[in-house]
């Protein structure tokens, strides 16, 4: 994918979440079962970086569970961050606005990140990052922020497993692109709540995620499916940081 196309898709998603932040947040009033399964594995005293923290529902659940570690939520949407800050008021929780497609600029600011982290979360995040190069850059930065043997917990939307969701795929021509402009597995999905919007989403296979993990210095130690109809709409993986040679 050409860089200018990737930037257009980033702008498309940024515009979507600015326009539909409230409506989108209303659909995220509870955590997905797969995310709850991940939280059930915590010792509740870790240092956590939550990428794409959205409306703060995960952070609020950690509060309910008595989490005593340090939590930092990152999201590019000011509207979502405002909702998140309204849910959580505790000195060991912080939220920061930043675009994950420029994450390397944030990782240079160690006073904000206070790395290394025991855990990094990216639930429903990577599938909104266009181009293999951008995704690889992000996952390599995540590798650098984790402690030795630290865990990267991620989920991606397995929307092609749903006939209903496949019907939401629209032609690229709606945003002035053609199929040849994007990569295999890239889709344009519409949104139909409080208006109509369009989002870029990448559909991952297990093999593609495994290759990304290896190239960015991780080992995949767990794969599962959860959420939605048939409990198949979320593809979850656990990656463990491997030390660089």
DSSP letters along 140-178, please?
HHHHHHEEEEEEEEEEEE-GGG-HHHHTTB--GGGGT--
State in Å, rounded, how far the first CA of the chain is from the last one: 30
**pLDDT at position 210 over 70:** yes
Q: Is residue 200 part of a domain?
A: no
Q: Is residue 57 part of a domain?
A: yes
pLDDT digits (tens, 9 = 90+) for 21-38: 666 655 665 899 999 999
The number of distinct structural domains making up the chain is 1
CATH number (domain holding residue 213):
3.40.50.150
Q: Is residue 142 part of a domain?
A: yes
d(C-alpha 43, C-alpha 68), whole Å: 9
What per-residue confidence (pLDDT) applies to 29? 59
**pLDDT at position 223 over 60:** yes
Show the domain range for 69. 3-157+205-241
What per-residue confidence (pLDDT) applies to 23? 65
Q: Are 174 and 137 in contact (CB under 8 A)?
A: no
Taking all residues of the chain, what is their mean pLDDT, rounded to a whole number? 90
d(C-alpha 91, C-alpha 71), whole Å: 10
Q: Is residue 9 part of a domain?
A: yes
Q: Is residue 78 part of a domain?
A: yes
Q: Is residue 186 part of a domain?
A: no
Q: Is residue 27 part of a domain?
A: yes
């Amino acid at each position: 994918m050409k860089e200018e196309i990737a930037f257009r898709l980033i702008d498309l998603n940024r515009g979507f979440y600015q326009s539909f932040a409230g409506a989108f947040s209303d659909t995220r009033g509870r955590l997905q079962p797969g995310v709850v399964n991940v939280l059930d594995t915590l010792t509740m005293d870790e240092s956590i970086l939550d990428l794409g923290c959205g409306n703060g529902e995960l952070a609020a659940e950690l509060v309910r569970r008595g989490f005593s570690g340090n939590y930092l939520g990152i999201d590019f949407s000011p509207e979502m961050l405002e909702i998140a800050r309204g849910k959580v008021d505790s000195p060991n929780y912080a939220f920061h606005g930043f675009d994950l497609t420029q994450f390397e600029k944030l990782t240079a600011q160690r006073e904000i990140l206070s790395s290394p982290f025991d855990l990094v979360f990216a639930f429903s995040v990577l599938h909104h990052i266009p181009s293999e190069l951008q995704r690889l850059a992000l996952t390599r930065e995540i590798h650098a922020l984790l402690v030795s043997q630290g865990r990267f917990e991620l989920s991606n939307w397995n929307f092609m497993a749903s006939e209903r969701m496949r019907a939401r795929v629209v032609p690229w021509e709606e945003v002035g692109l053609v199929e040849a402009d994007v990569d295999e597995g890239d889709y344009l999905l519409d949104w139909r709540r409080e208006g109509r919007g369009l989002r870029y989403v990448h559909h991952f296979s297990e093999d593609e995620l495994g290759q990304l993990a290896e190239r960015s210095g991780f080992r995949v130690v767990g794969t599962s499916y959860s959420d939605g109809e048939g409990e198949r709409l979320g593809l979850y993986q656990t990656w463990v940081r491997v030390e660089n040679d």
